[in-house]
Amino acid sequence: MNSSLFQLLHSLARQSSVLDAVFVFFAVYALFILWGVVSATFFLAFHNRFRHRLHCHLQIVVLAALSSLLARVIIAEALKRLLHNPRPFEILADVNPLIARAANGSFPSGHTVLAFSAASAIALCYPRAGWTLYAAAGAIGISRVIAGVHWPIDILGGAVIGIGSTYFLHYAFHHFSIGGKKLSHALLALAHKFQTR
């Protein structure tokens, strides 16, 4: 199933130079735009129009940063080193990747982890934008399969880790305490301090 789905998706590559450019854009560059949106929410928080949502915007930035650390740097990297699954172009002779990639662990997709971490952090604050962001994150992952550098299971695993880490941290923010003070209350106090300036 994993191999068959990979072959189906990868067969879309090198059919059109225009489509290849689109796939490469999503596989490599779209992630920067998604994280640019995360950064923009922080700066928009200080605009008068959005100051009433300052707490929410700070939550986006903090959740995205912490979930990327937990999901990509810790969980995903540990799985890559532990499993060391070969990438498609390492074991399939007919795979000609659209993008250059080192032959390191394939599972999970680090790009997909980061994409879904960012999308989840924003979706928790702006649910109506969530579907668009999740679609963009999914396009990033699928494009990396089409590009020949990941298996479909890598994308699924990356999505689960990215979303799961963000929602776990969101839960922790609202239920765990340090020194008798919930983390969400500390963030709210920080937001209030900014608002009173």
Q: What is the pLDDT of residues 66-100, one digit of tens each?
A: 999 999 999 999 999 999 899 999 999 899 899 98
What's the pLDDT at 166?
96
Find the angle CA(172)-CA(154)-CA(95) to the nearest 5 degrees.
160
Q: What's the pLDDT band for 17 if we cut at 50, 70, 90?
A: very high
Q: Cα separation of 192 and 197, whole Å? A: 9
Is 60 exceeded by the pLDDT of residue 116?
yes
Q: 187: closest CA among 79, 42, 85, 49?
A: 42
What's the pLDDT at 91?
92
DSSP letters of the chain? -HHHHHHHHHTTTTS-HHHHHHHHIIIIIHHHHHHHHHHHHHHHTTSTTTGGGHHHHHHHHHHHHHHHIIIIIIIIHHHHHHH-PPPHHHH-TT---SS---SS--SS-HHHHHHHHHHHHHHHH-HHHHHHHHHHHHHHHHHHHHTTS--HHHHHHHHHHHHHHHHHHHHHHHH-EETTEEHHHHHHHHHHHHHT-
What's the pLDDT at 105?
87
Mean per-residue pLDDT, 156-176: 92
How many alpha carbons fall within 13 Å on the CB side of residue 75? 23
What's the pLDDT at 1?
86
Mean per-residue pLDDT, 153-172: 96
Please indicate whether residue 192 or residue 174 has the higher confidence score (pLDDT): 174
Q: Are 95 and 88 in contact (CB under 8 A)?
A: yes
pTM: 0.88
What's the pLDDT at 30?
97
What's the pLDDT at 45?
65
What's the pLDDT at 152?
98
Please indicate whether residue 40 or residue 22 has the higher confidence score (pLDDT): 22
**86-100, 103-117, 180-194, range with the lowest pLDDT:** 180-194
With a pLDDT cut of 70, the percent of the chain lying above it is 83
Q: Are 111 and 138 in contact (CB under 8 A)?
A: no
